[in-house]
Chain A
Amino acid sequence: MNLTLKIWRQKGPQDKGRMVEYKVTDISEHMSFLEMMDVLNESLVAKDEEPIAFDHDCREGICGMCSLQINGEAHGPDRGITTCQLHMRMFKDGDTIFIEPFRANAFPVIKDLVVDRMAFERIQQAGGYISVNTSGNTQDANSIPISKQNADLSMDAASCIGCGACVASCKNSSAMLFVAAKVSQYALLPQGKIEAKDRVKNMVMQMDLEGFGNCTNTGACEIECPKGISIENIARLNREYLAASV
């Protein structure tokens, strides 16, 4: 298929940035979206033009490195996947596709489609862990029974890949789903209970410091989340925060 691409180009953080139009031809429907981008970049380098910078790594939907706002949607039109798992069969011949970086004040653009997500790192450093040394001198793993239901819910929350789609999808650029996933994973486990109060307070404080917006329960994050993290986690985050604050 032949496509028209309108892609955000921005030399660096100081550059204003603009949409630039490109044409690609003979794109196979079996290609992944990023393979289509590879084809475009190879042709740009061949023409002595600068290729488009975009983040990607594992290309199997788990590392959370890839991003892209495609036709206004984080990770594009398909559901339950990251951009690297999006396939061209979701588009048709003659389509015009708009490709932009994830937009949020807390995610400044580094170059073209690459954004800086260090804010997520700092939130996790504020408390996204259990304070246990890695000495191996802990108790036997089976001495802490955990109900299957809570173990499964914790696992569902823990499957967050930290890509930032929730922030990019939210009209307030809120990071609540991300923080909620992290807080929930530990809040659901007995090992995480001891530090639960400090954890939720510190992580929420850091989230606010980073300049993310507030949650107004629109639920866009849940729809666009490639790992299907439920907004029930946000409810849990609010309960944890309230309990820690009173």
Chain B
Amino acid sequence: MTTLNSRIPEGPIKDKWTLYKDKINLVNPANKRNIDIIVIGTGLAGGSAAATLAELGYSVKAFAYQDSPRRAHSIAAQGGINASKNYMGDGDSNYRLFYDTVKGGDYRSREANVYRLAEVSGNIIDQCVAQGVPFARDYGGLLDNRSFGGVLVSRTFYAKGQTGQQLLLGAYSAMNRQIARGKIEMFNRHEMLDVVKIDGKARGIIARNLITGEIERHSAHAVVIATGGYGNVYFLSTNAMGSNATAAWKIHKKGAFFANPCFTQIHPTCIPRSGDYQSKLTLMSESLRNDGRIWVPAKLEDAKAIQQKKLKPIQIAEENRDYFLERRYPAFGNLVPRDVASRAAKERCDAGFGVNATGEAVYLDFAAAIKRYGTEQAKIKGIHDASTEKITELGAAVIEEKYGNLFQMYEKIIDENPYKTPMMIYPATHYTMGGVWVDYNLMTTVPGLYCIGEANFSDHGANRLGASALMQGLADGYFVLPYTIGDYLADDIRTGKIKTDSPEFDEAEKSVKDQLNFFINNKGTHTVDYYHKRLGQVMWDKVGMARNEKGLKEAITEIQEIREDFWKNVKVPGSLNEFNQELEKAGRVADFLELGELFAKDALEREESCGGHFREEHVTEDGEAKRDDVNFAYVAAWEYTGKPSEAILHKEQLEFKDIELKTRSYK
């Protein structure tokens, strides 16, 4: 049986990473060029890793299912990236970023990893500026910062509402430099369909060329998975349509443990769904909570009238509004962490106070901010006795400067002007803290197989704080993996090129082809989306924002039934050797149908409420999540044994030496 060894270095937390780097094995430059590394996924984690490994001298092959690395879904991250630069002089430090992240994650992350993340966060900003990432600046030419949820300092760097895009373009430009030099061989429109293990080590992959349908073998001395999260298990999420868990799930089936699948983030500020045809949900950046106030009507009759469109939000007087986050959490107000904000919105909507036709929406109101900024601007401009209209105009201009593109995006989707009437928002699946288990080196339980970025279970515990995903992706790719992978590859300098004509490659290719052939030949009755939507409904209803034993048990049975039906009756048109988008989706949904079950099983087993995982059986008297540190302060790492229902649980006990375990309170 595989044993879990997190390989956390010795020494005080502040010195662990430095001491570790001083002692690792290095590969000399002449040997690096004889070592191949495969990187799957080209978002912030994969893109930055591929570029850095190529710069170091390794021969890198990078794979993306999109037509360009620049299109990976990291690009959609809006609000910003955290770093403990303390440019604002508001008391920030590595320790404070570390502390906030561990606390925000509800004490379910590994201290040593999170400290390292905080430690390299400042380097990321330096690096990105050197690459030409156009971060927002103030009039003195220095970098600007803003605040995000769950913290009391301003440490978030941003590039308008397009921070993820700009950081990804930075990593992409670094990749392009290496592609031009021939150090990265880029495979666009390719999907990894399995990993190949030889003598227990990851030595290559089987991939499908999505244009020609050709099945390809690629060998390497190490394989890095950087394929993002599994939020699309819910069908509707803020992920891209193509975001999938196939690479992560395939390596799980080949021996990589899968950790904490039930830790999934439901983001509070998304545009509510409008109909059954809906294909995805759109996020409105958390940065909006800097200036927006969240409320529902205080009176049930007002809520009913609004749902029936008999009343407009601006007609409801101030005293008849319930600013429920400010009421329940006065210290953090509208900037409580995401899990807390989402549950509070759900609680109000379940009680009947929702504000759209479906009853599943709350308001995010900018009127107060517009007035505040407008008054300030009038003063700056020396306008005395400014009219209400003038103040509104001046204030709206400030809001537009800060969030213009988000307001425009909202208006295009909902067809209402958010400068004049409050936005409607509702929680939606956004990010997955769970993922492939990795040790301190970011290596999975399979030697030579690494997992970075959102795809691993890593640093965010049970809940991720805003603007931390970009930080982790780039930290893993630029500054952590390039060191740790060298330590492993130092033993491989005499191995030579890995051959692809081995029985291991034959076998992996055969199983991939068998599955593809099955889909094409099955000629069933229902489309792939039909099954994906059914799975998503079960996940949302029973494994969503609030979970209980009965619902989870039902979910497991229902997912098994859907999966059985899928394998009997799925219909995939077209043929193998062509561009076939339905065939791509079929393989991804097949994996979600297994992952969903493990997800529910993990949620059932974790008999506590913490972070994004909320068990209705475990709440405090005032309805807050009740964590159980005595019994559940561990990482649940699942070993695949043939079926999700028979997965074996391994526990990595979490030790808190530098942070005191205590109830997470934002009151």
Contacts and interface: CB of A to CB of B under 8 A. Distances in A.
Do they bind each other? yes
Interface of A: 12, 28, 30-32, 34-35, 38-39, 42, 44-46, 48-51, 53, 55-65, 78, 80-81, 85, 87, 89, 110-111, 114, 116-118, 120-121, 124-126, 128-136, 138-142, 144-148, 151, 154-155, 158-159, 161-162, 185-186, 189, 191-192
Interface stretch (B69-77, B301-309, B332-340, B589-597): B69-77
Given A134-B51, A141-B135, A189-B134, 12 more contacts: A45-B582, A51-B573, A57-B66, A58-B76, A60-B409, A62-B76, A85-B413, A131-B177, A142-B87, A148-B138, A154-B132, A159-B165
CB-CB nearest 7 A-B residue pairs: A145-B141, A129-B173, A136-B123, A138-B130, A155-B134, A141-B129, A154-B134
Given A45-B573, A124-B176, A125-B180, A191 B127 contact: no
Contacts of A120: 68
Interface in B225-260: 238, 240-242
Contacts of B139: 148
A189 B132 contact: yes
Given A28-B277, A50-B574, A134-B478, A140 B132 contact: no
A56 B280 CA distance: 12
Nearest to A123: B176
Contacts of A142: 85, 87, 142-143
Contacts of A162: 68, 70
Contacts of A140: 126
A30 B274 contact: yes
Contacts of A136: 120, 123-124, 126-127, 478-479
A85 B409 contact: yes
B279 interface: yes
Interface centre among A34, A65, A118, A162 (most CB of B within 10 A): A65
18 contacts: A28-B274, A39-B277, A58-B76, A58-B240, A59-B280, A65-B71, A87-B415, A116-B67, A118-B67, A121-B68, A129-B132, A129-B174, A136-B127, A141-B125, A141-B126, A146-B137, A147-B137, A191-B132
Contacts of B177: 125, 129, 131
Most A CB within 10 A of own CB, among B48, B141, B238: B141
Nearest to A43: B527
Contacts of A121: 68, 176, 186, 188
B538 interface: no
Contact of B134 (A42, A78, A141, A158): A158
A110 B137 contact: no
A128 B176 contact: yes
B67 A55 contact: yes
B130 A132 contact: yes
A37 B565 CA distance: 26
Given A35-B278, A57-B241, A130 B527 contact: no
B511 interface: no
B176 A191 contact: no
Contact of B180 (A46, A64, A126): A126
Contacts of A134: 48, 51-52, 55, 127, 131, 174, 478
Nearest to A132: B130
Interface of B: 48, 51-52, 55, 66-68, 70-73, 75-76, 85, 87, 120, 123-132, 134-143, 159-160, 162, 165-166, 169, 172-174, 176-177, 179-180, 186, 188, 211, 238, 240-242, 274-275, 277-280, 282-283, 408-409, 412-413, 415, 478-479, 527, 529, 571, 573-574, 578-579, 581-582
Nearest to A155: B134
B471 to A, nearest CB: 13
The residue in A31, A50, A134, A136 that gathers the most chain B C-beta atoms within 10 A of its C-beta is A134
Contact of B67 (A65, A130, A158): A65
Contacts of B573: 44-45, 48-51
Which has the most chain A C-beta neighbours within 10 Å: B415, B527, B581?
A: B581
A155 B132 CA distance: 10
B375 to A, nearest CB: 23
Contacts of A85: 409, 412-413
Contacts of B172: 124
A155 to B, nearest CB: 4
Contacts of B55: 133-135
A130 B279 contact: no
| B51, B72, B124, B578 interface centre (most CB from chain A within 10 Å) | B578
A111 B412 contact: no
Nearest to B475: A136
Contacts of A28: 274-275, 277
Given A45-B573, A48-B573, A87-B413, A141 B143 contact: yes
A118 B240 CA distance: 21
A85 B415 CA distance: 12
Given A60-B283, A146-B141, A155-B160, A130 B132 contact: yes
B275 A191 contact: no
Given A57-B73, A142-B87, A42 B120 contact: no
B411 to A, nearest CB: 10
Contacts of A63: 66, 71-73, 75-76, 240
B571 to A, nearest CB: 6
A51 to B, nearest CB: 6
A189 B76 CA distance: 24
Contacts of B176: 121, 124-125, 128-129
